[in-house]
Every structure is written in structure tokens, then in C-alpha cells.
Amino acid sequence: MNPTVVQRIRTSDEFRAQVGGKASSVEDQGGHAVAVSSAEGGAPTLTSLPAYRYVAGLIAVLGLVALILIFAPYFASHPVKTSGPAGLAGQAAPVFALYDDRGQPVSLAQYRGRIVVMNLWASWCPPCRAEMPDLQRLSNLYAARGLVIIGVNQGESPQRARSFAESLQIHFPIWVDGAERYGRLYSALGLPTTVILDRRGIVVRGIDGPLTFDEMRGAISPLLVPKQS
């Protein structure tokens, strides 16, 4: 502040009541906003008081934003994703081309509009063998209501997959995933792994380990409710 132009100092309230001319400078003293009137004109003036207030406010806001940005990630609750096959629940099922046990190209996309139970299995896996007849029974019961069972062999040859299915009189589609891509996508923890998709192709459940017939039926029953028109 230039002392030559200082004539008198008023509190902010006084200043607001009397201000009317051109301001030359503004000072802050004793915790009060004060105005300085010019020696020449006598009337208190105001240009930089709001500017300083804006700057002070901006500094405060930036400091607050900085604190939030620094600490928020450490205190924010992150949704805990379930590991294993349950982890993809709620997401669209990945679709890619495979071949069935007879060498025909197949894809999950062809089953949109139907409920899909995808069972990952291998012939060397005793629990897989044990639950196959129940899967066939489920397919027989609910095929008319839009249910499709697909057995996705993991890592074996089409011939082995077909002979295994024939030995158990399995009639639902058997696909061959030689590179075990579904096993990786669904983070399979072992075999069998069962994944249930709704009619839109969204993963509803991923289940690790063998299921009984009642467990299978319980898992698909919410999806079998006919759509409300």
C-alpha cells in the first residue's frame, strides 16, 4: 500500500456503506476487510478486494481438492470381486468361436434368447462324469422352456470328447475348447465348473465343483419364470 494515498481506513461495513468512487487498493488488517480511499478524490474505491477474495477462495478449494484426491482412494470402499468362476456374474459372457465334437463351428451367440448352462468338463475328471447324467436329465426336463445345456470339454481332442459323451448317452451339445480359453475366462478353480447365462447372454452364476440335480434345478429356476408382457 502506498502511504501517500492513504487517507483513512474504515471497516468493511463502513466501506460498503460509503463506497461509491474508484478504488485504488484494499488492505487486510486485524482480520477485517478494509478499504483505502484515495487522497485526491476522497471517496473509497474498490477493484481488488473481490480479486483477492477469489484468489484466497481458489487456494482453499485447490487445497481441499488436493486432500480429497490424495486420501479418497485409500479410504474408498472398493467392491470386492469374488475370485473364481463367480467373479464374472453380472457381465456379458465372452463370445468366441469354437468347434463342437463333430468339427462344426459353434458360438454362444447362437443361443441368445435362451437360458444357457455351460458345463466345463474333462473325461479324466470323475466328478464331471458323475454329474453328466443329471445335466442330461435337466436338459430333457427344461429344453421346451428355453434351457440349453452345453458341455465344454477343456483341453482334450474331439474324438475323446465324443466317445465320452456317447458312453454316457449325452445328447446335449458338446464343444471342444482345446486351448482351455473358457477355463481361463471364468477363472475355473477346478473341474467341473458350471456357468449359467440368462436369455440376454449375461452371466448369472459361476459355480465351482459338481452339482446335484436339485442344486442345478434351483440355480436355473429363477430364470425359467416366463417374461411379463
- Which residue ranges make up the site for other proteins (CB under 8 A)? 1, 26-28, 52, 55-56, 59-60, 62-63, 65-67, 69-71, 73-74, 78-79, 81, 83, 87-88, 94, 96, 120, 122-125, 154-157, 159-160, 178-181, 183-185, 187-191
Q: Smallest distance, Å, CB 110 to other proteins?
A: 19
C-alpha cell at 29: 488488517
Q: Among residues 181 and 199, whose Cβ is nearest to other proteins?
A: 181
Q: Smallest distance, Å, CB 31 to other proteins?
A: 12
Instruction: List, as one string, the DSSP characters of 141-187.
Output: HHGGGTEEEEEEEES--HHHHHHHHHHTT--S-EEEETT-HHHHHTT
Q: Among residues 67 and 224, whose Cβ is nearest to other proteins?
A: 67
Q: Smallest distance, Å, CB 186 to other proteins?
A: 9
Q: Among residues 18 and 83, whose Cβ is nearest to other proteins?
A: 83
Q: Cα(86)–Cα(206) distance, rounded to whole angstroms?
A: 4
Q: Among residues 54 and 145, whose Cβ is nearest to other proteins?
A: 54
Q: Report, in angstroms and rounded to the nearest whole number, the Rg of the chain calculated over CA atoms.
A: 36
Q: Smallest distance, Å, CB 142 to other proteins?
A: 27
Contacts of 83 (CB under 8 A, 6+ apart): 187
Instruction: List the one residue out of 98, 109, 126 whose CA is nearest residue 183.
Output: 98
Q: Cα(58)–Cα(48) distance, rounded to whole angstroms?
A: 15
C-alpha cell at 62: 485447490
Q: Among residues 43 and 66, whose Cβ is nearest to other proteins?
A: 66
Q: Smallest distance, Å, CB 17 to other proteins?
A: 21
Q: How far is CA 67 from the centre of its chain?
A: 26
Residues 150, 151, 153, 157, Cα dihedral to 10°? -90
Q: Cα(194)–Cα(121) distance, rounded to whole angstroms?
A: 9
Q: Smallest distance, Å, CB 78 to other proteins?
A: 6
Q: Among residues 17 and 55, whose Cβ is nearest to other proteins?
A: 55
